[in-house]
Amino acid sequence: PLVYTVHDLRNPHQVDPAPHRAALDVLVPAADRLITLTPGAAQEITRRWNRTATVLPHPHVVEQPRLSLPRPSRDRFRVGLHAKSVRPNMAVLPVVRVLAETLAELPDADLVVNVHHEVGDPGAHAHAPDVLDELRALEARGLLHLHVHDYFDDDALWDYLSGLDLSVLPYAFGTHSGWLEACHDLGTAVAAPTCGFYAEQRPCLSYGNTAEDGLDGESLRAAVLEAYRTRPAWRASGAARAAERAAVARAHRNLYHDLTR
């Protein structure tokens, strides 16, 4: 039997949605059972293919003991945007411009932007000199702190996320996010775009950003100001996350058992 988990209704690594859509048009009708992460995604699957998907939450991605460690204390409000390798679904510069302008008005607030070395490598697939040039210009004006580095290992990534008060996902299209799950594990608030179903995945702030309509800068500004004012601390306990993961494992086991008996 074929069990397919529909994590992405649109592939965040592809500019053209057609190849992934064509793959889904084969996989989703052919699968014996479907799983997805949110009710909204399940509704979209029903609308597009007249199939019912079982909704199961994404399990925790940070392991113990890190999952239960207290967050570091800070005097300043730190917002982070990790541009990674500037994959196709990222609207990095439009989002950074709004963040830089907004945080410049706030006392004791910092903007940290991280990007991988390959963005500056002419031989790399991810080469995006225009992005790097503007980020460096904004840093020179004192509007952000730019860190260019290799891929983080897990410990470095958890340190980075734990050091943020707000992580902004700069996506113009997408469906679900493992990054959002890691932030939930560590107690870092997230500002997620209205494309996809991020707000159904875990508690977060939302702002308007879609491939069709572009960035709603005012809603992003409002999300940052709300985070600055309220300092949301959405974090599940280690015990709750462990119980959730066990429940997800049982659900998978039962599903596989039903298909194979």
Structural domains in the chain, CATH included, are 1-56 (no CATH), 66-230 (3.40.50.2000)
Q: So what's the pLDDT on residue 100?
A: 98
In the block, tokens 């890691």 appear at 182
Rounded distance between C-alpha atoms, residue 4 and residue 188, angstroms: 30
Please report, rounded to a whole number, the percentage of residues in the chain having pLDDT higher than 90. 97
Cα-Cα-Cα-Cα dihedral sign, residues 82, 180, 252, 155: positive
| Residue-wise pLDDT tens digits, 99-117 | 999 999 999 999 999 999 9
168-187 residues labelled b (16+ CB within 10 A) or e (exposed): bbbbbbbbbbebbbbbbbbb
pTM for the model stands at 0.95
pLDDT band with cut points at 50, 70 and 90 for residue 171: very high
Mean per-residue pLDDT for 8-18? 96
Is the Cα dihedral 211, 171, 177, 11 positive or negative?
A: positive
Report pLDDT digits (tens) over 29-74. Answer: 999 999 999 999 999 999 999 999 999 999 999 999 999 999 998 8
Q: What is the pLDDT of residue 141?
A: 97
pLDDT band at 78, cuts 50/70/90?
very high
pLDDT for position 207:
98
Q: What is the mean pLDDT of the chain?
A: 96
Looking at the chain, the whole-number percentage of residues with pLDDT higher than 70 is 100
pLDDT confidence band for 150 (50 / 70 / 90): very high
pLDDT given for residue 261 in this prediction: 86
What's the Rg (C-alpha) of the chain?
A: 19
Query: Is residue 242 over pLDDT 90?
Result: yes
**Per-residue pLDDT tens digits for 161-170:** 999 999 999 9
